[in-house]
Amino acid sequence: MIEVLQGLVFADTRFIPFLLPIFLVWLAAWLWLPQRRRHQAGRGLLYSDTSRLHSLSGGKPAALRPFVRGLRLLVVALLLLAVLRPQTGRRMTQVETQGIDIVLAVDTSGSMQALDLDTAERNEARRRNRLEVAKEVIATFVSERSNDQLGLVVFGEEAFTQCPLTLDHNVLATLLDGVEIGMAGDATAIGSAVGVAVKRLQNSPAESKVVVLLTDGRNNAGIIAPRTAAEIAQTLGIKIYAIGAGTRGKAPFLVQTPLGPQVVYENVEIDEEMLQEMSEMTGGAYFRAEDVSALAGIYEQIDKLEKTEITTDSYLEFDDRFAWFVVPALVLLLLEVVLLNTRFRVLP
């Protein structure tokens, strides 16, 4: 719910064509009648010598007398504005979201140490590994899904929930930042990872439930076969978007040798056929990312494919504010009455 305060408005502006002429007529009479009264009063008073009167100063009361007289003008103006029904409003916006529950399954096996995704850095020894690149891209994806519940599953030889489904994306980002290679073992249990993610989503009331699986290898561990996990996801209406991360062929790795850190090349095969079968079975899609820009583009594409539905209802609430004008008018009127019974009193 969003509330925005609107400015002061006048609800009955249709009265302006009538009130404005009345005010102008009153103003003319208000300015003309005192002069006429003084003129008529002057006819009945005779002075033998007025030279001394001209030399007298009225002092501060005389100088402030126009201000006192002008209070009546402010009183009438404020009362006329009150007749126009001044109001302030609040714009209320009610946002209803049909969020999407997404579990991000991230491979932390030993092969994620490959240095092939960070192609912007030419020096291979200084490149970020696959997991570091993936974490950066995933963090951007998380920041753009503010209306969705997101969870995080990490997997290697085993699979476990790093962060349950939550709308607190700051917590998720912190836990994602703490993900490290080998924290779940060096092997790759893709089926177990999908199984854990599906278990997190099976009781979700969301209309759309998604698993985004990122891996760079083949299933070689775990007690659940990838196809079996995909069949369970299909039964529960959960989509799988699978991402194969890594170049084709040999990938560079930084290893420690007696001569210090050295870059070596090793083959890392991705079971694309299996990943594609899992995603198509559940109504998702399979993507291949061979560098950081491709990986970022894939997450952007998934973001567009799985859009959250947002319904916005806006309405206005108004509060009458005539008291803002009537109360000052009464105060000024009272002030005028008090002042006119003091040294500011005007004599004929």
Tell me: do 83 and 142 sit in the same domain.
no
> Is 52 inside any structural domain?
no
Lowest model confidence (mean pLDDT) among 72-81, 106-115, 206-215: 72-81
pLDDT higher than threshold 70 for residue 73: yes
Q: Provide the pLDDT for residue 45.
A: 52
pLDDT: is 92 or 180 the higher one? 180
CA nearest neighbour of 165 among 100, 231, 238, 214: 100
Domain identity same for 72 and 110: no
User: Is 194 inside any structural domain?
Assistant: yes
**Structure tokens belonging to residue 258:** 């007696």
pLDDT for residue 49:
56
> Given this model, what pLDDT does residue 61 score?
59
Distant-in-sequence, close-in-space partners of 175: CB < 8 Å, separation ≥ 6: 152, 162, 163
Distance CA 60, CA 65 (A): 8
Is 256 contained in some domain? yes
Categorize the per-residue pLDDT at 38 as very low, low, confident or very high, splitting at 50, 70 and 90: low
Find the mean pLDDT for residues 330-344.
76
319/286 same-domain check: no
Mean pLDDT of 138-161: 94
Lowest mean pLDDT among 9-13, 154-158, 332-336: 9-13
Rounded distance between C-alpha atoms, residue 310 and residue 292, angstroms: 31
Which of 110, 256, 269, 253 minimizes the C-alpha distance to 184?
A: 110
Residues 117 and 35 in one domain: no
What is residue 200's predicted lDDT score, i.e. its pLDDT? 95
Residue 118 lies in a domain: yes
Asked if 74 and 162 sit in the same domain, the reply is no
| Domain-embedded: residue 160 | yes
- pLDDT score, position 297: 95
Looking at residue 50, its pLDDT comes to 55
The alpha-helical segments, DSSP class H, found in the chain are 16-43, 51-55, 59-83, 130-143, 169-177, 190-201, 226-235, 272-281, 292-305, 323-339
Cα dist. 76→13, 72, 80, 139, 316 in Å? 17, 6, 6, 63, 31
Indicate whether 63 pLDDT > 90: no
- Taking residues 206-225, what's their average pLDDT? 94
pLDDT surpassing 90 at residue 209: yes
| Domain assignment of residue 232, yes or no | yes
pLDDT band at 197 (very low <50, low <70, confident <90, very high): very high
pLDDT band at 10 (very low <50, low <70, confident <90, very high): confident
Q: Give yes or no: residues 196 and 71 share one domain.
A: no
Asked whether the whole model's pTM tops 0.85, one would answer: no
Instruction: For residues 221-233, give the mean pLDDT.
Output: 96
CATH number at 231 reads 3.40.50.410
pLDDT value at 58 more than 70: no
Query: What's the average model confidence in pLDDT over 50-71?
Result: 60
Tens digits of residue pLDDT in 83-119: 887 887 776 665 566 678 999 999 999 999 999 999 8
Q: How confident is the model at residue 140 (pLDDT cuts 50, 70, 90)?
A: very high
Is 330 in the same domain as 244?
no
- Within this chain, do residues 69 and 179 fall inside the same structural domain, yes or no? no
User: How far is it, in rounded angstroms, from Cα 70 to Cα 80?
Assistant: 16
pLDDT bracket for residue 298 (50, 70, 90): very high
Q: What is the mean pLDDT of the chain?
A: 83
Give the tokens for residue 114.
């490959």
Residues 36 and 136 in one domain: no
Query: Do residues 68 and 176 both lie within one domain?
Result: no
Statement to judge: residues 11 and 71 lie in one domain? yes
Chain-centroid distance, C-alpha 327: 39
Could you list the residue range(s) of the whole structural domain that residue 26 is in? 2-43+61-90+315-339
Same domain, 290 and 176: yes
pLDDT at 177 over 70: yes
- In three-state secondary structure terms, 116 is coil
In a domain, 82, yes or no: yes
- Specify the pLDDT at position 268: 85
The predicted pLDDT at position 275 comes to 97
Window from 23-32, 47-56, 165-174, 339-348 with minimum mean pLDDT: 47-56
Highest mean pLDDT among 41-45, 277-281, 301-305: 277-281
Does residue 206 lie in a domain region? yes
Neighbouring residues of 160: CB distance < 8 A, sequence distance ≥ 6: 153, 154, 184, 196
Between 3 and 302, the higher pLDDT residue: 302
Q: How many domains does the chain have?
A: 2
